[in-house]
Structure 1
Amino acid sequence: MLQDFFHTCKSNQFNVIGYPVSADFNYQELDKFWQFSFNNCGDWAVESIYSLNTFRFEKEVMRYFAEKFSIPFETSWGYVTNGGTEGNMYGCYLAREIFPDGILYFSENTHYSVAKIVKLLRIEHRVVRSLPNGEIDYEDLQRQIALNETEHPIIFTNVGTTLHGATDNLDKIKAILKYAGIQREDYYLHVDAAFHGMILPFVDAPQPYSFADDIDSISVSGHKMIGAPIPCGVVLTKKEYVENISVAVDYIVANDKTITGSRNGITPLMLWYAIKSSTEQEKELRVKRCLRLAEYATEKMNEKGVPAWRNPNSVIVVFPTPSEAVWRKYGLANSAEYAHIIITGHMIDNIQFLDQLIEDVALDLKEDETMTVA
């Protein structure tokens, strides 16, 4: 069974095109560490009595992301998570502790996990309409803020929505809050940058996305644009906020500032290795090659009569949902109206597969139009 499963994995590893994962990674240098029972329980900034941890690597990972997201490392805190959902929950958790009476606003195109988070944390919330390209509807956000009496909005923003790859405009959102008479210290801005958080730092004209744009917390996935065999990510915030949730744990002689307590010790090692094994120039080149290939796929589909499009600085190409036979063949993520392909690192050298998909989608659309006319 294991050998059969291995062959299945090898056959499909580089044909993942409908979901945001990068398969162009190689962590063989870390194979020797699988024999250890790592546990990153507690705060990586404090020495733990449990010596089998990867805190020294986690600290460097967080230093890297603090630099990438424009916050002084000394005034920041965050940790390596199990993925974007945990990072988003952490941001919402911090916001709720700061503003217990706050209302969380998020768009209908926000990742489905946020609907679970508001139930788990019991946060009062409002779902805001989305624009056709997937961004939050700014007029509806303004209307809903005006309708509610709370003085403490918690705004959940997207830097790359799941289906459309849309980025909410932080400048417009802050202008709405200012117009409503809400002072900066009276609201909280969380950014879900699960996928595009490792794209925007490497483009020439990024949309606002970082602490330089006055955000309060940000969540990024590690297995998406970076690439990893295990779901993982980071969450980053301001150190002053974390003190509200810090818990002293006597038997490990440490403070726990996380959600999960015992945490994966391998993933900080992987993220550290991914960061250190390429230069920033190489990371930028990889991102820009993905963006060029996404542009190529969009143009190629349009040439063949498929009305494909993508948002600025996004590697997600959106097009009408094809027949089930096609989306199952290529493992495409889709809704009733739209499907998408996602160009990550492993697709750069797999253009033949991309061209084959484009041909099949175009042919499928023509056949559908013919059947509709008939």
Structure 2
Amino acid sequence: MSRIKEIYDRISEASSNFLGYPLAKDFNYSEFAPFLNLCINNVGDPESPSTLSIDTKDIEREVISFFADILSSSTNDVWGYVTNGGTEGNLYGLYLARESFNNPVVYYSESTHYSVKKNLHLLNLKNIVVRSQDNGEIDYGDLESLITLHRDKPAVFFLNIGTTMTEAVDDLDKIKGIIKKYAIKDYYIHCDAAFLGCIAPFVDPKPKFDFAEGIDSISISGHKFIGGPIPCGIVLAKRKHRDRIVNSVSYVGTLDTTITGSRNGLTPLLLWSFIEKYGKEGLITRARKSQELAAYTEQRLKEIGVKTWRNNEALTVVLEKPSEALCKKYQLASENEMAHIICVPGTKKEQIDAFIKDYEKELFVVERLIYN
């Protein structure tokens, strides 16, 4: 038991300190502790019963319905399931895209999450990396020039609705403009909205990335903004795409439409609990509070002379990379000379102030060394 306590204490302390990763900190699901003594398996399709009845598929369907609604659709037109996280959702979207066309080409920016390259390799999909702009958004000029070289091939556009490092959002209207300009008939649009999927529907101005605006599938993380003890996600796709890959599995009495067979039945329950308690208004409130803290963080960094910026109303504050010691203490993700702070729900103003104080001390020491 001492080993277990040691592990708990270590993770608990680390959870209170980190500022650089999109993991909400303000959740409490202790009421679901009794479920840890049960094996809950949502095997197969969430809309299809199975011979195994230890599931939460009814709850899972309600979760999918909620997300379909905030993405301007309904379960009449879209289908989805609760995944193990954003990577699985992206794999599923790309899988559906592959099954839709013969030998398509996937276009994605260099700011795209590292796991996408792995997914493309697993699916053996031809792909082209597009340059990114300085803010992390895809370079539309470069995309257009690459499209002209492969305009005879079906195109899969992998768009970021919030890139990993800068929370940049690719512009769906500009993508559709390129599609129209080059008369691309066969195309598929998948959106990676891992972090922003729960936020962007309520941002003003709202980025275009939902089903009414022409996407084919989308992946969202559940543990990043809503929060939870177990990584999870939601993938949604137009029902017609899902129907292309459906198979029946007789011995479990269900349909095979998901990446994995056995699926976590606890995470849908946790997501459903949040939705029941807070709903859309809860997401809006969380988003606004987090945006306010991000604005405060950006301002405080500027006040001490640190180069910093944010994309539009982003929760991610990009800043000059501090020392390795500070990056380690506050668990900041960094890339080249850039680091970021992500103001997720549960991040306290006092944590930001503590970081600012440490960074200011560091700058003072550096300044003294320079002038001495």
TM range (shorter): over 0.9
1:47 corresponds to 2:49: yes
| Contact 1:206 1:313 survives alignment (8 Å) | no
| Contact 2:55 2:265 survives alignment (8 Å) | yes
**Percent identity (aligned):** 45
Q: Which runs of 5+ in 1 are unaligned?
A: none
* 2: CA distance, partners of 1:104 / 1:233: 23
- Superposed CA deviations along residues 179-235 of structure 1, whole A, max 9, x for unmatched, are 11213xx10000000001111122232111211211000000001001010110000
Aligned residue among 140, 143, 158 for 2:142: 140
Aligned to 1:96: 98
| Contact 2:198 2:283 survives alignment (8 Å) | no
Aligned to 1:202: 202
- Superposed CA deviations along residues 53-104 of structure 1, whole A, max 9, x for unmatched, are 1100000000000001111211111100000000000000000110131100
* 1: CA distance, partners of 2:225 / 2:102: 34
**1:313-324 → structure 2 map (5 Å cutoff):** 313-324=313-324
**Using a 3 Å threshold, how does the CA distance of structure 1 residues 369 and 134 change in structure 2: closer, same or farther?**
farther
Aligned residue pairs total 370
Aligned to 2:345: 345
SS across alignment from 2:288: helix
* 1: CA distance, partners of 2:369 / 2:236: 51
Aligned to 1:364: 362
Aligned to 2:243: 243
**Using a 3 Å threshold, how does the CA distance of structure 1 residues 32 and 151 change in structure 2: closer, same or farther?**
same
1:278 corresponds to 2:293: no
**Using a 3 Å threshold, how does the CA distance of structure 1 residues 373 and 111 change in structure 2: closer, same or farther?**
farther
Aligned to 1:255: 255
| Contact 1:196 1:314 survives alignment (8 Å) | no
SS across alignment from 1:251: coil
RMSD between superposed Cα atoms in Å: 1.4
| Contact 2:246 2:257 survives alignment (8 Å) | yes
| Contact 2:78 2:236 survives alignment (8 Å) | yes
Measure how far apart 1:371 and its partner are: 5.0
**Using a 3 Å threshold, how does the CA distance of structure 1 residues 174 and 366 change in structure 2: closer, same or farther?**
farther
| Contact 1:103 1:150 survives alignment (8 Å) | no
* 2: CA distance, partners of 1:91 / 1:337: 33
* 1: CA distance, partners of 2:208 / 2:370: 43
SS across alignment from 1:74: coil
Aligned to 2:352: 354
**1:103-118 → structure 2 map (5 Å cutoff):** 103-118=105-120
Measure how far apart 1:366 and its partner are: 5.0
| Contact 2:40 2:55 survives alignment (8 Å) | yes
Which stretch has the larger CA shift, 357-366 or 148-157?
A: 357-366
SS across alignment from 1:125: strand
| Contact 1:105 1:127 survives alignment (8 Å) | yes
Aligned residue among 121, 124, 133 for 1:122: 124
Amino acid at match of 1:358: I
Q: Which runs of 5+ in 2 are unaligned?
A: none
| Contact 1:102 1:150 survives alignment (8 Å) | no
Aligned to 2:296: 296
